Amino acid sequence: MIVTFLLLQFVCYCETANLTREETLRELFRNYDSTIPPTFNDDEPVKALVQLYILGIDSVSDSAMEYTLFMILRQKWYDKRLQYNRIPGVRALELDPKAMNSVWVPDLYMVNEKRAKIHDITTPNKLLHIYSDDGYSTDRLMLRWNNVPVELAANMSLPQFILDDINTAICDRLYAGIKYTCITVKIHFTRKYGYHLIQEFIPSALIVMLSWVSFWISLEAVPARISIGLLSVLTMTTQSSGSRTKLPEVSYIKAIDIWMSVCMLFVFAALLEYALVNVFDRKQKRRETYVDTNGVGKDGKIDKRHFRCCCLKGRERARIIDKFSRVLFPVTFTIFNMFYWSVYLIWEPVETLQH
């Protein structure tokens, strides 16, 4: 996560005589101690309002499970020590970034942050406004979301995802008997299916359909049927391995895992179907040998009825299995597709935010 800008705001009460901007700032920081929270003597937490303005989201990595976020972070809190009278024509006092170290700032950090950077060209891009109108525990600091917690840039777009929803919540937690303040924002992305349809789903479906071609090939064409079956299995294995390299290694089952597993099952079943057909065909040949030696009548001629009964039975079964597979495999795969896409296009996991 990369933080590009930081905007800090103070909201203070009004006291002291009318002074110029320069004189007011000198007077405010004369006895100011930036190491002490504003409400330290009152034994109350500082209520800080937080707002995010998201400028853009890019570099979404599925395998690393991370993304890059460009945003403006705004914080707003009360500091009674920075009280001054309104100056005509002045909405707020702006501090130079170099002088911001002289002001107490809430200890705000992001728990799941991997890397962070503040834009520093040509100077650190920090703003601090002091208005004239009105890792700490909750005893010293209380973080809360602003009325408009998150804003999005109008021209923001993602190549492979759709920013579907943003949820904010309060997540104050108890550690070692001390309650720490916490706020959370969850960004819900919806994946665009175009890329994965072209790269993964359509090719794997075509491989499954290719394995069905063997059902229309003659039983005697052993090399052709075996080649189609083995090539389909090997291609499906390569396709499945390639899809896994682009996704994170997680313990739960993903939708693409179910799809690839079922496609592999159909391809492997088509290969096993030919093994079953070949078994019946081989039984037929053994029966032909049996008839040639034992199906001879008293007149020295082969009993044709006995030949047809014993010899054509296995081949007919093999052809029936092929005809049955021509219907069973496409229908079953179609039913699976209807169930699969209806579930994963409509169903969404329900995530609860801890309040």
Q: Where are the domains of the chain?
A: 5-191, 194-346
For the segment 291-303, what is each residue's pLDDT rounded down to a tens digit?
Answer: 444 555 445 555 5
pLDDT of the residue at 316: 80
351 contacts 185 by C-beta, under 8 angstroms = no
For the segment 331-341, what is each residue's pLDDT rounded down to a tens digit?
Answer: 999 999 999 99
| CA–CA gap between residue 262 and residue 336 (Å, rounded) | 9
What's the whole-model pTM score? 0.58
pLDDT of the residue at 178: 65
Report residue 5's pLDDT band, with 50, 70 and 90 as the boundaries: very low
pLDDT of the residue at 159: 74
Domains 5-191 and 194-346 agree in fold:
no
pLDDT of the residue at 283: 66
Q: Are strands 5-11 and 126-131 parallel, antiparallel or unpaired?
A: parallel
pLDDT higher than threshold 90 for residue 310: no
pLDDT of the residue at 173: 76
For the segment 41-80, what is each residue's pLDDT rounded down to a tens digit?
Answer: 887 888 888 888 877 777 777 667 777 888 778 888 888 8
Mean pLDDT of 103-128: 78
pLDDT of the residue at 110: 78
pLDDT higher than threshold 50 for residue 352: no
- CATH number for the region 194-346 comes to 1.20.58.390
Report the 10 Å Cβ neighbour count for 84. 24
pLDDT higher than threshold 60 for residue 136: no
Mean pLDDT of 245-255: 79
pLDDT of the residue at 355: 37
The DSSP code for 254 is P
Cα 14–15–19 angle (5° rounding)?
100
For 91, the 3-state DSSP assignment is coil
Into which CATH architecture does domain 5-191 fall? Distorted Sandwich (2.70)
Report residue 277's pLDDT band, with 50, 70 and 90 as the boundaries: confident
Instruction: Name, in order, each residue with C-beta under 8 angstroms of 99's C-beta and a sequence gap of 6 or more.
Output: 128
Q: Looking at 143-152, 173-182, 193-202, 240-249, which range is the least confident one?
A: 173-182
Mean pLDDT of 222-246: 87
